[in-house]
A and B are shown apart, each in its own frame.
Chain A
Amino acid sequence: MDVLLDALAYLRDADSWTGQGGMLELLVQQLLVTVTALAAAMLVGLPVALWLGHLGRGGFLAINISNVGRAVPTFALLAIFVAGDAWAWTGGAFPGTGTVGPYGRAGISTLVALALFALPPLITNAYVAVREVPPEVRESARGMGMSGWQQFRRAELPLALPLVMSGVRLALVQVWATATIAALVAGPGLGRVITDGFFRTDYGKGIAGAIVVAAVALVLEVLAAAVQRWLDPVRRAARTGERAVSPEVSTLEPAAREGG
């Protein structure tokens, strides 16, 4: 168990955290990459999935496409993105290994790969969330003379929100954990601590990196769960004294994480 003691020693050492390439810098870098990638995936995936759910059409296709997306290893995507000068033809618009802003080396490649990786859980959960709104709610909304957009905006969306959020929560934790893979192509983030420790057979360091990544993942999970509770329409109604309908929505399976 010396390895674990080495890991603790590495975690206790202030030098591991500070300075250029220290764990703090890498942690912030990975958080930035994770949040940006997730936001991009939400902007692209959620509107499409929610609206398809509202129409009740094309969902089968959307869900199947996102399942195929699960089969694409993130490692392979990253590898293709950073293959030397592969993107010369974009005139530098897509810097394979370039450093852009605060995202570190190959940051943009990592962002794109992770955003693609986040799409399947987001799309699946959002689509199912809208489909699971009880039909009588939809009927009532229509009976009150609401237009399609109003039905969606005032009845379906608020009721679907908890399940949409659990998709976001899942994607957040998975993107954070998968971001470590960027280190395999010398990208940004804490994965570097793990691979470094590994290639120098300094397993204590590798395990220390793993512990930090897992700890932050747990913190993200707890924070996301708190936000999700706060957004729950039933609870909000209880807070503001309105009446609300509560659909008995069960949370979906955690979609499996692919990485690689």
Chain B
Amino acid sequence: MTLLAQADDGPSCYGRLTNEWLCWDYVVDYRPEIVEATTQHVAITIVSVLFGLALSFPLALLARRLPRLESTVLGVSTGLYTVPSLALFPLLVPFTGLSATTVVIGLGLYALTVLVRAILEGLRAVPEEVRESARGLGYGDGRLLLRVELPLAVPVVMAGLRVATVSTVALTTVGSLVAYGGLGNLIAEGVQSNFRAQLLTAAVLCVALAVLLDVVIVAAQRVLTPWTRTAG
């Protein structure tokens, strides 16, 4: 994207008469507002995903322990998915009000669906003989999980985390319904006032943010699984 900054004395590219899609003046003039919205967006996304992660680990471990529970856990989390994001917020508002909490709970529950499946699958992918060997070395359940199973499950869990994070970035925009949508607030404003520069800038920032977080997760995965890099 090459944005041509207008000359100072020329007409600005946003305003009553000119309503350009790409407008660097907008970015310059509205910088505080854009930074604030982006910060809110990042915060809501990260807290939501962490909330989903914190819930999905115990659920996945429980489902693995009690096979009878597994279908229930998977069923309920898939059922959550059929409730549209837009609908989840009004359901929560009577309890949590018009707050960021509402958005975080809603988005966290969505992330949960993907994450529970990913964690279960990751743990299943650990070869049985590896478990046997660890037990033979005298590892108990807890140590086996923390030192052997979870590290080996990292690649599959991370794949799920990538999908969950990218989707959460996109879904956060719907939070504008309760005035906590990060960049979604700018998009909603842009629709109401037909402000094209604001619309497109916010949309592009959303995608950039998703890609950036995705890259961060991939980098983290490489750091966490050094053994995968030495496979020759």
Contact = CB atoms under 8 A, between A and B. Distances in A.
B187 interface: yes
Nearest to B115: A256
Contacts of A179: 84
Contact of B90 (A70, A74, A210): A210
B174 A213 contact: no
B108 interface: no
Given A72-B207, A184-B188, A258 B167 contact: yes
B163 A194 contact: no
Given A73-B184, A194-B86, A257 B81 contact: yes
Nearest to A3: B94
Interface in B84-134: 84-91, 93-94, 110-111, 113-114, 117-118, 121
Interface of B is mostly: helix
Given A180-B84, A180-B86, A257-B81, A71 B187 contact: no
Given A3-B94, A258-B166, A258-B167, A75 B81 contact: no
Interface residues of B, number: 51
Given A74-B170, A256-B164, A260-B171, A83 B199 contact: yes
Interface in B186-217: 187-188, 190-191, 194, 196, 199-200, 202-203, 206-207, 210-211, 214
B176 interface: yes
Interface residues of A, number: 50
B129 to A, nearest CB: 21
Contact of B87 (A67, A82, A210, A253): A210
Given A70-B166, A184-B188, A260-B173, A195 B86 contact: yes
A169 to B, nearest CB: 11
Contacts of A253: 114, 117-118, 121, 160, 163
A77 B187 CA distance: 10
Contact of B207 (A71, A79, A84, A210): A71
21 contacts: A70-B163, A70-B166, A70-B170, A71-B210, A71-B214, A72-B170, A73-B206, A83-B194, A177-B83, A180-B86, A184-B174, A207-B91, A217-B84, A218-B79, A253-B114, A256-B167, A259-B86, A260-B85, A260-B171, A260-B172, A260-B184
Given A83-B190, A206-B87, A260-B184, 13 more contacts: A70-B167, A70-B170, A72-B206, A72-B207, A79-B187, A79-B188, A177-B82, A177-B83, A181-B174, A184-B86, A198-B177, A206-B90, A221-B82
